[in-house]
Structure 1
């Protein structure tokens, strides 16, 4: 399953990523962390043992002898060479416990003395060339975008850092980071933290919110990292168990559901949580500087205003959206919606307005200047039959809104002049759509991810319907064939053709397919407006 996506703009990533090296301080920290986790595990075992003892000592269960129900009928015996129980090495001597002679019966095993060269440990001829080839494969070009994919498969969660090569329409996994729990939100940061805090220049980091009540920040320019550069929140598991779900000012006590980095005040990160709070973090100090508890249920989403540095939006499962100045949290403007909030988003082309998507499948467009509860709704868009689980607004093309849903479709809307209309609907073959993000550099590139664990990059500029609605006269006069969606390459460097229309494949391979057959089947409702009057 892919639960979240984020793009990294061109040129932000280091051309030659570093290998992670554990310092003495980090090694000591890892030892302390491991020791604490071992002690927590022992405590859990002791607690379970008490519960088991209470069950075993129940008089009603004594006759079943549950303490020995899974014992074998006999103990395992180490046999000697003659089949007898072995108390020696088979030659009358004690069993060897150390030294190379313990492997004396293994044929073909060689041992090298201290002063001898082991060919498996010393650099051989040609290995330097392999190192250079590996370095070339790890290189990230200034023309490459990175796509950050929050993925869970077989209960293992990680962040895949994918390189997207726009010139060749190729995408592959460059490296990844293991996560402690299912990821719910990712946010790219251009701010140096951790070991490189305070250094000149921009950073290249990702903040990750998971079911764990902490925020991990990873350096995207580091390979083979085993531990995040910064952890925001408490790492005391015992204290977190006691405070689970309760509101605390210093840290979250439940899952982190939303993240938003302040691009105007770059050391600030906002988060929202299932503990019914939103929090403000100082990245430079790695501490929580403000906690907001204006919602009465889980806070699903948070986003900073694009121009007003201290203003933010929050939306929750209490079916309300709040706009507030982070410096004056008591003064909150409220809007009620028809269902649990899935996401909130400022209109970057008209910053006095915002969008809110809900579990009922609707999207509302609200004028914040009318702050009376229930007022200010410009229109309500009946976008999907199921929850609107993904939403994004094109950063450059005014009025292009994209929504994604659990109904497995992505829809493109023309919302210019407050008169929304459907441009096209498409099934990107990713299952339930949980994430959709426009690329910050390439025009009309949309990344989509969903429940089947697949991600796609769609070049929307080649779609006939989008070109006819959003293109200028020169674009409309030059029709092009639509490109298939790009997916992560397999190990052989080639894509599967499962999700590519046969007509498109035939055309790419030199066939004579009818271009009409390659058009989107769901464009029939392009001119259908699905909006109600202001409520």
Structure 2
């Protein structure tokens, strides 16, 4: 499944990414890590053996002789089939001995010099190196898309390249993750050992079920370790405080990330441990911890213009806005269900959106708050039948809001003049939709990811309903044929049933409750109506 997406701006990525090389220091680090892992595995084995002995010595189970329960059956299998196995191995050996590996090859030629062999096209090492560099080269006209993916219990971040001229999307390289990813955030700020190097960086911060944040250099191929880890890596210390708020690090799954583009060394994170933390990327330490929510904190976002103001939303059905320098002065807004995400309106920064588990979107005015209590929403939009699990707004065109849901639909809304109306609803064929992100460079280009493990690129500028609603007179007078959704090169579509079940299990684990009902496969037409209540 695809759990999170993020775009990288054009021209930021290195044209020729570096190949990762292990240093002596990292070899030593790897040995220490391996030794620690082995010791922890031995400890777990000792605990398991102790438990097994307790079970075997239980008087109530003695009569079943569990220790030798399968011995008779195994011996019978050997006595019955032993001679057959021996005969088979002998015949295979004889067949191999009598076969000549050149018996079916005619006209075999031998060349002392590779230059004479017509089948060898790479004549020297330099040509091979040139081919490898050309294969991984990234052009300034390319966009990069970061895809947080989990398949068969293996999680990674795929660094994809989108070639707009040829409508091509492919995986360039990837990073292995220690656990299921819940959020990714792109930042062009150097961290770790490369912090002192000139110029901006090209990094991705990844939040997972593990209570730490990993920052990976996107311009390095085949990296084994992140450049920076925020949070404790001491598993023993973590076990003692698991799930309990701690002032220096998270102790449970990290559910949201937000990089401060105005104070660029600051990264905020929200967690299932009920805290929000402020990280200093220069020191790699937690600079501040906030405990104002009473339940898991699902989402966090910095204000687009005010460097110290942030917005948080949690499973306590509340949204908080506050100045990080004065965390005790919090303004609260209540909603009807658990908060799935919060988002400032970048076109009107005194307003913000809140998406909930019941499928509603609330639009608030941050100025309408007295003594820490926020006013009712300007409007409430019944956007989906199930949870609004993805939400984004167009970065340059005011009034375009996109929502995605576990009901497997993506909807485009016209929210101008605070009178929301649905423009388009469609099924992008990704299962339950968990991520939608507008491209910062290409107009009306939307990335979509969901429970089936598929990624789609939707060029919304070719949709007739969107063109007629948001386009000027010139655009409306020149209709174009709508492009089909673009998928990853080489990916195979599947029904996504197993991934849907896994997605529900993830949600249930975060919620701390039972499984949710399976997302329906209902597809609404482009002219479908949406219910909306205004307050």
Counterpart of 1:445? 445
Aligned to 1:524: 527
Aligned residue number for residue 501 of structure 1: none
| Paired residues of 2:423 and 2:527 also in contact (CA < 8 A) | no
- Given that 2:293 and 2:316 are in contact with CA atoms closer than 8 Å, whether structure 1 keeps it comes out as yes
**Counterpart of 1:31?**
31
Further displaced range: 367-376 or 176-185 = 367-376
* Counterpart in the other structure of 1:253: 251
Structure 2 unaligned regions, length at least 5 = 87-98, 102-120, 496-522
Among 347, 350, 363, which residue is 1:349 paired with?
347
Contact 2:256 2:298 in 1 (8 A): yes
How far does the alpha carbon of each residue in 1:174-208 deviate from its partner, in whole angstroms, 9 at most, with x for none?
00001111100000011101221121111000000
Find the partner of 1:149 among 147, 163, 179: 147
In 2, Cα distance between equivalents of 1:126 and 1:277? 57
Distance between the aligned counterparts of 1:199 and 1:206, measured in 2? Answer: 18
CA shift digits 1:445-496 (9 cap, x unpaired): 00000000000010000111001110111111111111111111118xxx98
Partner-residue secondary structure (3-state), 1:481: coil
Report how many residues are paired.
474
Whether the aligned pair in 2 keeps the contact of 1:40 and 1:237 (CA below 8 Å) is no
Q: Verify: 1:329 aligned to 2:327, yes or no.
A: yes
In structure 1, runs of 5+ residues without a counterpart are 84-105, 109-122, 499-519
Q: Is 1:243 equivalent to 2:241 in the alignment?
A: yes
Q: Deviation digits for residues 323-368 of structure 1, max 9, x if unmatched?
A: 0111111110000100000000000000000000000000000000
Structure 1 segment 179-258 matched on structure 2, within 5 A: 179-258=177-256
Q: Aligned to 1:468, what secondary structure does the other structure show?
A: helix
2:123 is equivalent to residue 125 of structure 1: yes
Does the 8 A contact of 1:368 with 1:376 survive in 2? Answer: no
Q: 1:75 to 1:25 in 2, by over 3 A?
A: farther
**1:222 Cα deviation from its structure 2 partner:** 0.5
1:463 corresponding residue in structure 2? 463
**Residues 331 and 374, structure 2, Cα contact 8 Å, conserved in 1:** no
- Equivalent residue, structure 2, for 1:393: 393
Distance 1:460 1:270 in 2: 31
Instruction: Check conservation: 1:422, 1:530, Cα contact below 8 A.
Output: no
**Alpha carbons 2:404, 2:433 under 8 Å: kept:** yes
Distance 2:493 2:403 in 1: 26
CA displacement 1:57-82 (0-9 Å, x = unmatched): 11222222222334454999xx9xxx
For 2:173, the equivalent position in structure 1 comes to 175
| Structure 1 residue 529 displacement after superposition | 5.8
CA distance in 1, matches of 2:52, 2:403: 51
Say which SS state the counterpart of residue 278 (structure 2) adopts: strand
Correspondence 1:20 to 2:20: yes
Higher helix share: 2
Aligned: 1:362 with 2:360: yes
Change (3 A) 1:473 1:20: same
- For residues 68-111 of structure 1, the C-alpha deviation after alignment (integer angstroms, 9 at most, x for no partner) is 334454999xx9xxx9xxxxxxxxxxxxxxxxxxxxxx999xxx
Between the aligned partners of 1:529 and 1:274, the Cα distance in structure 2 is 33
Whole-Å separation in 1 of the counterparts to 2:49 and 2:375: 58
Structure 2 residue 489 is matched with structure 1 residue 489: yes
CA contact (8 A) 2:122 2:128 kept: no
Question: What CA distance in whole angstroms lies between the structure 2 residues aligned with 1:236 and 1:497?
Answer: 39
Deviations 1:368-427 (A, max 9, x none): 001243514110000000000000010100000000000000000000111101111011
Structure 2 CA distance, aligned partners of 1:140 and 1:214? 30
